[in-house]
Amino acid sequence: MIHRYFPPQGGVALAALLSLAGCAVGPDFKTPEAPAGAGYTVDALPAGTASAPTTGGAAQRFVAGMDIPAQWWTLFHSPELDALVNEAMTRNPDMDAARAALKAAHEAVRVQQGDYFPQVSASYSPTRQQIAAPLASPAASGTDLYNLHTAQVSVSYTLDLFGANRRQVESLVAQADAQRFALEATYLTLSSNVVAAAIQEASLRGQLAATQEIVSLQQRSLDLLHRQYDLGQVAQADVAAQEASLAQAQAAIPPLEKQLAQQRDALARLLGRMPNERIDATFDLNRLQLPEALPVSLPSQLVEQRPDVRAAQAQWHAAGAAVGVAVAARLPSVTLSANYGASAEIARELFSPGTGFWSLAANLTQPIFAGGALLHKQRGAEAAYEQAGAQYRAAVLTAFQNVADTLHALRTDADALRASLNAEQAAKRSLTIAQKQLELGDISYLTLLNAQQTYQQTRVALVQAQANRYADTVALFQAVGGGWWHRDDMKAGATAGTPPVAASPAQAG
């Protein structure tokens, strides 16, 4: 809730008192606490997931409060993947843009901090003047045409009686915080996208290999049917049906090849490369190790770990400080100024005795009428503050939803992988039996065709289920924040002379 602030009626004495007290109008921002009683699932979270004796089938354990390494992707134990993520961090233009935006935000803070100090300027003004003849006699020279050289130093300082400048600096520092967390969000998103792209590539390669295996099996079946047709054991319709089935399986290969090529292009984009630059690393699910211990951050930790939540909190803080700026604009302002200089008709006589001048001045300004503009600016700032608070709460809800969705996916996709493996193994046994029976003439070709189609579907589904386990793991690390607070460059930033950012998560060592 925002309280409205109205100009006091106490005049200059009250202004001086507030100046001495260091008063800053507007709401003082307090870090919001984590949602009370928040959690991720309605029912108790199981200890872990199911397992299956296949690639990506290891059981995974949910570890509450587990800390997250900065380079969490190394848990997949792929040196090629590590190298690509590191390359993306140095070459991706999105990272460069985020770093530049953060630098610009820091510079904006320093610009505003300059108003804490008096503004000093020096000037030199040579002029040549023609004075009307009736007025020339009062001039020192008594002539109507003369030169005048003036040099002076001016000092001005606006007292920050009601904290307008302090609130403006506070707002800009909060915006710099938001930009810092936007950079961390870019870092987390980029690293997650590179790992996800590698997993998707591995999935496509697995699906392509499975489809090629199916084509090979169907080609052998077609060769068998050709021999049986030559012996008069099967009809030509059976051979034609098998040829159609083979062609259908072969038709599935080009779309997979297209997706794989496009996936490589997407990976090149993430790395900051042009699509014609070769990427030597290739990925296969068999060469990626599935992490078995999964972090489930405590709800109180999640709001500190998520960069998007921290950025929303900083924007909320900035909006609160902007209210103070708007309130101060309706209150009196005092500006002190001083000038010292000299004037002479000849430049070399500047600062000689009798040429000096000086002035001291104070100016008190109280806005009286501006057509309601200042009042409505304050109300607009208050509404923006409420909006930022709602956006923060929305970011918190989204963060908890992301973790909950990922935990559900990890559990159910592990069950799905086990079921897919059982289905693939059963379909393979059925196909093997059908092929042998067909060779002996014990079954019709239609039975073999059904067995082939079932195996084709289950074989590709198994690869997709394996890839889902890896993708779910990546999604969880992204959902809980990715361990950015442990990075060396994050720690170094605190001593690099940059404006302060919000504290790191409590559990960070």
User: Average pLDDT, stretch 9-18?
Assistant: 41
Read off the pTM: 0.84
CA gap 465, 457 in Å, rounded: 12
* Contact residues for 269 (Cβ-Cβ < 8 A; gap 6+): 275
Decide: 280 and 274 in contact? Cβ < 8 Å. no
- pLDDT, one tens digit per residue, over 36-46 is 877 888 888 88
* Contact residues for 148 (Cβ-Cβ < 8 A; gap 6+): 126, 127, 128, 129, 343, 344, 345
Under the banding of pLDDT at 50, 70 and 90, the label for residue 346 is confident
Domain ranges of the chain: 115-158+332-365
pLDDT at residue 11 greater than cutoff 60: no
Burial tier of 209 (Cβ tally within 10 Å: 0-12, 13-18, 19+):
middle
CA gap 283, 338 in Å, rounded: 71
**Domain 115-158+332-365, what architecture?**
Single Sheet (2.20)
Supply the pLDDT for residue 221. 81
- In 346-487, which residue ranges form alpha helices assigned H by DSSP? 373-440, 445-479
Which tokens belong to 85? 């993520």
- pLDDT, one tens digit per residue, over 296-307 is 999 889 999 999
- pLDDT, one tens digit per residue, over 314-340 is 999 999 999 999 999 999 999 999 999
Of the chain, the percentage scoring pLDDT greater than 70 comes to 89
Give the three-class secondary structure for 244.
helix
Residue 101 Cα to chain centre, angstroms: 12
Residue type, 466: Q
Under the banding of pLDDT at 50, 70 and 90, the label for residue 371 is very high
